[in-house]
Chains A and B, each alone.
Chain A
Amino acid sequence: MKKIKLIDIAHGRSGDKGDAANIGIIAYDDNGYEIIKKYLTAEKVKKHFEGICHGKVERFELPNIRALNFLLHNTLGGGGTVSLMHDAQGKTLAAALLKMELEIK
C-alpha cells in the first residue's frame, strides 16, 4: 500500500452544468490513467466532496485521452445567478479534487 497525491499524476478542469459541476481529470501518462481508472471511483469522489456535493456523482471514462469525467449533481447552490456561492460555476473544484490522496496497492 502506498499513497499517491492525485495532483502529482493528473491535471484537470471544472465548470458548471446548471446546478451540477463537471470535473475532468486527466492523467499525465498511461500508468497514471491506470491508477485513476482503478482508484478514483465515483464513491471516493462523492466522499471527498462531502458537504459540498449534495447529489449523486456520475463517472465517465475517456481512455483515449487518459481522462475521467465526473458530474457532481446538486453542488453549485442552485447554479447560474440563483447561487450565492463565490464559485457558483465550480471553476475551482478540479483543483479541490486534485487534493485527494489515493491509496494504491
Chain B
Amino acid sequence: MKEKIRIASGQGFWGDLQSIPLQQVTKGPIDYLMMDFLAEVTMSIMQKQKKRNPSAGYARDLTHILKDLLPHIVEKNIKVITNGGGANPKACVDEIVNCAHKLGIRGLKLGVVSGDDILDSIDGLMKRKAGLKNMENDREIHEVKEKLISANVYFGARPIVAALKKGAQIVITGRTTDTSLTYAAMIHEFKWKWDDWNKLAAGVVAGHILECGGQASGGNFLGDWRSVPDLARIGFPIAEAYPNGDVIITKHPDTGGSVSVETVSEQLLYEIGDPINYITPECIADFTSIKLEQVEKDRVKVYNVKGKPATDLYKVSMAYHDGYTAIGNLTYSWPDAFEKAKKADEILRIRLKDMGLQFDEIRTEFLGVNACHGPLAEDQKDFNEVVLRIGVRNHSHHEVEMFGKEIAPLILTGPPSVTGFAGGRPKPNEVIAYWPALMSKKLVKPIVEIVTT
C-alpha cells in the first residue's frame, strides 16, 4: 500500500479554467486528477443536447482537456476520475477512445459508470413504489412527470472503486456525487472497508474541499482577500491523503493563490446544510468533528473527522420545464441616474399593463444601488450610473417574448442619458425547475464497464 496519495482538483465546474488540469499533472507529482463538471442545471442541459444529437450530452470541455492530458497521464501513470460523462458517459468514452487513437495511445483502460439516468424508467420505478416525492415540499411526482427533462440518481464511490479495481486509468461517470470523485481514490488505494465510517467521512470532507477547485485555494475568499498572492496564476487544491484518514490540503509550488485554515474553512462551509449530517451515498460525515491545522505555508492538515453509517436511500435530482424568463438591462448615467432608472421602470410597467401582459413575477433591481443586498445597502445620493435590471417570468412564451420587445424602445421614448443595449432584445429563456427526491438504493444499480483503447 502507498504511504500517501496525492489527488489534484482539475475542474470545479463546467466552464472552469481550462489550463488547470495540465498544470496539475505537470507542475508536481500527483497520483489522481479529479474533475467535477456537474451542477444541478448541467444535467438537464446535457440531456437536451443528447436528445438533439445521440452522440452529445457530455462535457465537451473534458475531451478537449484530455487531448493535451493523455500523453502526460500515460507517461506518469496518473489516474483520472471525472463526472464529465454527464448525460452520456458512453458517448464521452467513445470520443476519448478516438482521441487516444489519434495520439497512438493503445491499451489504455477506461472505466464507464452509468445507470444513473432514470428518466425513461420513472413509470416502472413508481410501480415499484419509488416514491419520488419532492423532498422540499412533499409534492407528488405525477404533477410534473410529463414535463421532466432529466432524472438522475446520485451514485457514490462504489462504482468508481469497482472501475478502478478492474484496472481503469480514467473513470468517466454520469451523475455521481462531487465528493465521490475524490474519496473513491482513497478507498481504492488504502483498501478502506465500506463500514469504516470515520475514514469514509474523512474522504468525503477531502472531496468537499476539492470539488469547487480554486475556491479552496484563495479564490472567492472573503477573509483578507487582498493578501492572496497572484490569483492570476492560481494553483488548484491538492489533497495529500494518508491511510489513517488524515489529509493535507496543499497546492503545487510556483502557483498563485493560498491554502490556509481560512481559505479551507470557507470552502468547508460552502453550500452545506446541517453540518452534523452531511449525507452521501456511502456514509454520513460529521462536519462539526473536523479539525484544521496550518502545518506549513500552503499546507493545511484536515483530521479527526467522524462518520456514521449511510442511509439506504439515494438522492435523485430531476429537472422539469417550468415556463420562461427574460431579463433586460439598461444603464442610466449622471445626473439623477437612480431617479431616471426608477422612472424607466415605472414607464415600462405601465406599457406592459396597457398591452394586457401579465406575468407570474416581475422583478426590478438597480445594479449599483442595491441589487445585491436589498434593504441592507448603504444609502448613497449621487450615483454616476445605475443599471436598471428588469426580469419577468411566465408560463407563456408569447408574453415573455413581448416583454423583450419593450426594452429597447425605452432608449428613445424614456428618460435621457441611457445606454448599454448592445446585446439585442432579451430572449425568453427556458426555466428549468428542480425536483429533488429520495429513492431506495435497492431500486437502481450502477453499471460499470471497461473499454480499452
- Given A65-B292, A81-B432, A92-B372; A86-B269 close (CB under 8 Å): no
Contact A84 B265 (CB under 8 A): no
Q: Does B183 contact A (CB under 8 A)?
A: no
Contact A81 B270 (CB under 8 A): no
Q: How far is the CA of A98 from the CA of B371 in the complex (A)?
A: 17
Q: Does B1 contact A (CB under 8 A)?
A: no
B363: contacting residue among A15, A80, A85, A96, CB under 8 A: A85
Contact A80 B434 (CB under 8 A): yes
CB contacts (< 8 Å) of B215 on chain A: these are: 13
Query: Nearest chain A CB to B427's CB is how many angstroms away?
Result: 14
Query: Nearest chain A CB to B212's CB is how many angstroms away?
Result: 9
Q: How far is the CA of A66 from the CA of B290 in the complex (A)?
A: 11
Residue of A with least CB distance to B373: A96
Contact A15 B271 (CB under 8 A): yes
Contact A99 B269 (CB under 8 A): no
Contact B325 A99 (CB under 8 A): no
B271: contacting residue among A17, A51, A63, A92, CB under 8 A: A17
Q: How far is the CA of A58 from the CA of B273 in the complex (A)?
A: 9
Q: Does B266 contact A (CB under 8 A)?
A: yes
Main secondary structure of the interface of B (DSSP, over half): mixed
Q: How far is the CA of A59 from the CA of B222 in the complex (A)?
A: 20
Q: How far is the CA of A60 from the CA of B361 in the complex (A)?
A: 33
CB contacts (< 8 Å) of B289 on chain A: these are: 64
Q: How far is the CA of A91 from the CA of B432 in the complex (A)?
A: 20
List CB contacts (< 8 Å) of A48-84 with chain B.
48-52, 58, 60-67, 69, 71, 77-82, 84
Query: Nearest chain A CB to B319's CB is how many angstroms away?
Result: 9
B270: contacting residue among A19, A24, A48, A82, CB under 8 A: A24
Contact B276 A60 (CB under 8 A): yes
Query: Nearest chain A CB to B88's CB is how many angstroms away?
Result: 21
CB contacts (< 8 Å) of B327 on chain A: these are: 84
Contact A82 B433 (CB under 8 A): yes
Q: Does B440 contact A (CB under 8 A)?
A: no
Q: Does B151 contact A (CB under 8 A)?
A: no
CB contacts (< 8 Å) of B392 on chain A: these are: 84
Q: Does B417 contact A (CB under 8 A)?
A: no
Interface size class of B (residues with CB under 8 A): 35 or more
Query: Nearest chain B CB to A65's CB is how many angstroms away?
Result: 5
Contact B271 A84 (CB under 8 A): no
- Given A24-B272, A84-B325; A96-B40 close (CB under 8 Å): no
Contact A95 B222 (CB under 8 A): yes
Residue of B with least CB distance to A92: B372
Query: Nearest chain B CB to A90's CB is how many angstroms away?
Result: 10
Q: How far is the CA of A79 from the CA of B433 in the complex (A)?
A: 9
Residue of A with least CB distance to B377: A96
Query: Nearest chain A CB to B201's CB is how many angstroms away?
Result: 14
Query: Nearest chain A CB to B163's CB is how many angstroms away?
Result: 30
Residue of B with least CB distance to A99: B376
Q: How far is the CA of A99 from the CA of B433 in the complex (A)?
A: 32
The interface centre, meaning the residue of A79, A86, A87, A92 with most chain B CB atoms within 10 A of its CB, is A86
CB contacts (< 8 Å) of A24 on chain B: these are: 265-266, 268-270, 272
CB contacts (< 8 Å) of A78 on chain B: these are: 433
Question: 1/0 per position for B361-400, CB-CB distance to A under 8 A?
Answer: 1010101000111111000000000000101110000000
Contact A69 B269 (CB under 8 A): yes
- Given A62-B275, A81-B41; A12-B269 close (CB under 8 Å): yes
Contact A80 B41 (CB under 8 A): yes
Contact A84 B41 (CB under 8 A): no
Q: Does B322 contact A (CB under 8 A)?
A: yes
CB contacts (< 8 Å) of A17 on chain B: these are: 271, 273
Contact B371 A71 (CB under 8 A): no
Contact A77 B274 (CB under 8 A): no
Given A96-B373, A96-B376, 9 more pairs with CB closer than 8 A: A11-B223, A12-B266, A24-B270, A26-B223, A63-B288, A80-B40, A81-B433, A85-B365, A92-B373
- Lowest 4 A-B CB distances belong to which pairs? A24-B269, A84-B391, A11-B223, A84-B363
| A-B residue pairs in contact (CB < 8 Å), sample of 30 | A13-B215, A13-B220, A13-B270, A15-B271, A16-B271, A17-B271, A22-B269, A24-B265, A24-B266, A24-B269, A26-B265, A60-B274, A62-B269, A64-B292, A69-B272, A78-B433, A79-B434, A80-B433, A80-B434, A81-B325, A82-B433, A84-B363, A84-B391, A86-B365, A86-B372, A87-B371, A94-B222, A95-B372, A96-B376, A99-B373
Q: Residues of B at under 8 Å CB distance from A?
A: 40-41, 136, 215, 220-224, 261-262, 265-276, 287-292, 304, 322, 325, 327, 361, 363, 365, 367, 371-376, 389, 391-393, 429-434, 436
Q: Residues of A at under 8 Å CB distance from B?
A: 11-13, 15-19, 22, 24, 26, 28, 48-52, 58, 60-67, 69, 71, 77-82, 84-87, 91-96, 98-99
